[in-house]
Structure formats: structure tokens, C-alpha cells
């Protein structure tokens, strides 16, 4: 049974399977489209990738799931909003995977100025097993939730 996507009636989700977008086939940058809502983005490019979210909409939620399949070893896995007036709101749990096994919780700024999540493969996360979900909920905000696996003295991935 096919289910249409409310943002794009020509998009069909067949048998509840999600579209997979692989970073290795995208190059160094990728701008997501609202019609790709519901997709799973595999972060599987060791050289990192810069992903730009589309403008959120006030009348329909757009949702993307990001899964780190390959640890980033240079640059970063960066997820940015479409504009300086569109913000990330939420938090990620950061699991320090080295010998410390520390856990830290990082939140976006309360001032509403966070526009980027950047995982660098060490202190800001981006190791295999990291995952993020970004969901738009109005015309200027994305809710971010996730688990970030890092190493060393972990710090916030938000900027």
C-alpha cells in the first residue's frame, strides 16, 4: 500500500519503507528538500558533509533522521538551518566513548541563536552510532534530538 507525503503528493512511501540518502553519493554539500521529509540520511562520508535543511513550514512538519554509519575523520558532519533567522531548539546526549565513559547533555542556546550542529569525529561527536532527528514545528524552528558519540573532553556540537 502506498502512502503519499503531505508535502509532495507524488512521493510515495511504499510498505512504510523510508527513503535513504547516502552522504557518500552527495559530495561535500547537500541541501535537503521538503519533499524528502521522512528520509534517513546516512552520514557515511569520512571526509564529512555540510547538509543544509530546507526552510521549515508553519503548516506541515518536516522530519529527517540522521545516522552516523562512518566516523568522520576530517572536517565534520554539519547540519545547518537555511537562514540565520531559522533556529535549532533541543538537545543531544553525548556519550564519551573513550576510557572515561562520561555522559554529557548539551542543549541549544536559550536565546534562540543556534543554527548549526557540527560533529567533528572527536570532542563534538560524529562517531559511528551517533544519531539525530530534526523536526520542523513552525516557520522558524527545528527541534533537534539525538545521541552523539564522541571522544576526549566532549563539548557541545551546537553553534
Give pLDDT, residue 102.
85
Q: What length does the chain have?
A: 159
**From first to last of its 159 residues, what are the pLDDT tens digits of the chain?**
445 555 555 555 555 678 999 999 999 999 999 999 999 999 999 999 999 999 998 888 999 999 999 999 999 999 999 999 999 999 999 999 887 778 889 999 877 899 999 999 999 999 999 999 999 999 999 999 999 999 988 999 999
Q: Which residues in 29-154 belong to E strands, given as ranges? A: 29-31, 40-43, 49-52, 63-68, 77-80, 87-96, 103-107, 116-119, 131-138, 141-150
What's the distance, CA 99 to chain centroid? 27
Give pLDDT, residue 98.
84
Give pLDDT, residue 49.
97
Dihedral sign computed on CA atoms, order 133, 66, 95, 105: negative
CA distance 61 to 88: 14
Give pLDDT, residue 59.
83
3-class DSSP assignment, residue 141 = strand
From the number of C-beta atoms within 10 Å of its C-beta (0-12, 13-18, 19+), residue 104 rates as middle
Give pLDDT, residue 1.
43
Amino acid at each position: 500500500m502506498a502512502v503519499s507525503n503531505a508535502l509532495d503528493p507524488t512521493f510515495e512511501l511504499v510498505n512504510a519503507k523510508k527513503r535513504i540518502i547516502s552522504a557518500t553519493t552527495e559530495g561535500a554539500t547537500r541541501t535537503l528538500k521538503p519533499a524528502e521529509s521522512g528520509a534517513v540520511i546516512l552520514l557515511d562520508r569520512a571526509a564529512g558533509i555540510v547538509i543544509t535543511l530546507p526552510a521549515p513550514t508553519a503548516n506541515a512538519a518536516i522530519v529527517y533522521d540522521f545516522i552516523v554509519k562512518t566516523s568522520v575523520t576530517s572536517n565534520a558532519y554539519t547540519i545547518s538551518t537555511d537562514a540565520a533567522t531559522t533556529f535549532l531548539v533541543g538537545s543531544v546526549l553525548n556519550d564519551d566513548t573513550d576510557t572515561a565513559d562520561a555522559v554529557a547533555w548539551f542543549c541549544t542556546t536559550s536565546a534562540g541563536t543556534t543554527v548549526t550542529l557540527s560533529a567533528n569525529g572527536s570532542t563534538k561527536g560524529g562517531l559511528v552510532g551517533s544519531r539525530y532527528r530534526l523536526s520542523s514545528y513552525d516557520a522558524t524552528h527545528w527541534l533537534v534530538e539525538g545521541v552523539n558519540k564522541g571522544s576526549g573532553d566532549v563539548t557541545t556540537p551546537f553553534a
